[in-house]
Each structure stands twice: as C-alpha cells, then as structure tokens.
C-alpha cells in the first residue's frame, strides 16, 4: 500500500472480531516497530506481545474504563529502555528521546496494521503500576503505549481534521501564509472553496433568471392570444 494513502486512510479501531491473526502478520507488525527511527539508532524501544485472554481482560480493566480493549485478540505493549537512552544521552535521553523513539515505533505498528488489513488503536491512558506488575516490566522498561490489534468489525468514520493552515507556520512560530493552498499548489482546494462560496449567489441569479423567463413566456402567450382574437 502507498504510504501516503495508508497514513490518510488509517483510523483508530475499537471493535474487533475474534478471528485469529496470522503469525506472519504479527511478525510483520513487530518488525515494523523495530524498524522505527531512534536517537542515534540506539533502538531503545521494547515490545511485549500479549495473547493470553485473561491478561488482556485484566489490562483492559485498568485503562480508564476502556473496556472495548478486551475485545482485541492480541495487544502489543511498547516500552522504553530508559537506561539505554540515558546511557547515550543523559537525562534528556531518559526523559525525552526514549518517549520519542517509542512513539515512532508505535506509529509504525499502527500503519503496518492498517496496511495488513488489521485494525488497531493507540492507548495511552493506563495504570502504569498495574501494567508493570502484570507484565513483569522492570523500572527501566517504562511502558509508553498499549496497542490493541485485531480484524476490525464495522466501519470507522473519518474524524474531522483542522485545516492545514492552522497547523503550519513559516520560519517563525505563529507566522502564517494567508493563502496556504495556493502556496503549496493545492489549487483544487481553492477552486472548491470558491465554488462553495459562490453557490448561493448562483442559485439566487438562476432564480431571478427563471422568474424573468417565466414573465417573458407569459407575456408572449398573452400576445399570441390577442393576435388570434383580432384575426
């Protein structure tokens, strides 16, 4: 699948069938995570593949009442080896780079899941103490994300996204280009906006033309009747 298409089509899926996920697909997901970029290529992300139903249900009950997580046939817990990132980059590595690296791996897994016809969701709200205890995660393997994965049930609607122009600045924070679409050659969006803005005016003009045309037709009919009567 084209990567841009995959990014644009991916959705957070929260309803799964109980169909088993093929082992080769699970391996592909883990491989995608392992190929994420990391600070200085230290690869400090770690992955725990969870397949046992009791463990999945237990974790679901400790994720801020997100009980839908229990439907997932498997989940991948992404952790950060903070000792490794601190070893190379000190406190900044431990507190920032480890999180960034784990986030990159998480996004890779989400995109790979969609490309493979699977559904997945990034879960960040969880009881960290419970998760660490049930999965025997050491203090230096801090969990960063839970990814429930399975074959999706139903369809997930695309959520509204803010316009790109509200997110992009040029050269300085807060500095925007007034007409971003034209600047990046997205002329089709400008045309669409123009058409939408002129639709009410066009409808009004058409209504006026229709009114005057009817008047002309009525007058023509009256004139024809009069000429017939005179004959």
Q: State pLDDT tens for residues 151-192.
A: 999 888 888 888 888 888 888 998 887 776 666 666 566 566
Non-local CB neighbours of 183 within 8 Å, separated by 6+ positions = 177
- Where does 3-150 sit in CATH, by number? 3.40.109.10
Going residue by residue through the chain, which has 231 residues, state the pLDDT in tens, using 9 for 90 and above.
899 999 999 999 999 999 999 999 999 999 999 999 999 999 999 999 999 999 999 999 999 999 999 999 999 999 999 999 999 999 999 999 999 999 999 999 999 999 999 999 999 999 999 999 999 999 999 999 999 999 999 888 888 888 888 888 888 998 887 776 666 666 566 566 666 776 777 777 777 778 777 877 777 777 777 666 665
What does the block give as tokens for 205? 């003009």
Q: How many CB atoms lie within 10 A of CB 16?
A: 24
**So what's the pLDDT on residue 184?**
62
**So what's the pLDDT on residue 218?**
79
**So what's the pLDDT on residue 207?**
77
Per-residue 3-state assignment (H helix, E strand, C coil) for the chain: CCHHHHHHHCCECCCECCCCCCHHHHHHHHHHHHCCCCHHHCCCEEEEEECCHHHHHHHHCCCCCCHHHHHCCEEEEEEEEHHHHHHHHHHHHHHHHHHHHHHHHHHHHHHHHHHCCCEECCECCCCHHHHHHHCCCCCCEEEEEEEEEECECCCCCCCCCCCHHHCCCCCCCCCCCCCHHHHCCCHHHHHHHHHHHHHHHHHHHHHHHHHHHHHHHHHHHHHHHHHHHHC
**So what's the pLDDT on residue 170?**
87
**So what's the pLDDT on residue 195?**
64
Rounded Cα–Cα distance for residues 96 and 13 (Å): 28
Rounded Cα–Cα distance for residues 86 and 40 (Å): 12
**So what's the pLDDT on residue 188?**
65
If we measure between CA atoms, which residue out of 159, 156, 147 comes closest to residue 122?
Answer: 147
> Domain residue spans in the chain?
3-150, 163-231
If we measure between CA atoms, which residue out of 96, 80, 82, 12 comes closest to residue 47?
Answer: 80
**So what's the pLDDT on residue 230?**
60
């Amino acid at each position: 699948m084209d990567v841009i298409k995959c990014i644009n089509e991916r959705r957070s899926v929260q309803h799964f069938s109980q169909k088993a996920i093929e082992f080769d697909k699970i391996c592909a997901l883990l491989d995608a995570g392992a190929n994420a970029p990391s600070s200085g290529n230290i690869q400090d992300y770690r992955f725990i593949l969870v397949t046992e139903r009791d463990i999945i249900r237990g974790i679901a009950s400790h994720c801020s009442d997100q009980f839908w997580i229990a439907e997932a046939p498997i989940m991948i817990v992404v952790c950060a080896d903070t000792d490794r990132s601190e070893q190379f980059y000190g406190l900044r590595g431990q507190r920032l780079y480890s999180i960034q690296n784990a986030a990159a791996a998480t996004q890779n897994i989400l995109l790979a899941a969609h490309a493979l016809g699977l559904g997945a969701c990034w879960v960040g709200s969880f009881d960290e103490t419970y998760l660490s205890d049930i999965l025997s995660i050491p203090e230096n393997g801090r969990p960063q994300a839970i990814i429930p994965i399975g074959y999706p049930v139903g369809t997930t609607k695309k959520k509204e996204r803010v316009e790109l122009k509200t997110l992009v600045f040029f050269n300085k924070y807060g500095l925007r280009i007034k007409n971003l679409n034209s600047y990046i050659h997205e002329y089709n969006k400008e045309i669409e906006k123009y058409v939408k803005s002129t639709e009410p005016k066009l409808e009004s003009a058409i209504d006026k033309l229709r009114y005057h045309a009817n008047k002309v037709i009525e007058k023509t009919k009256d004139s024809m009747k009069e000429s017939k009567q005179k004959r």
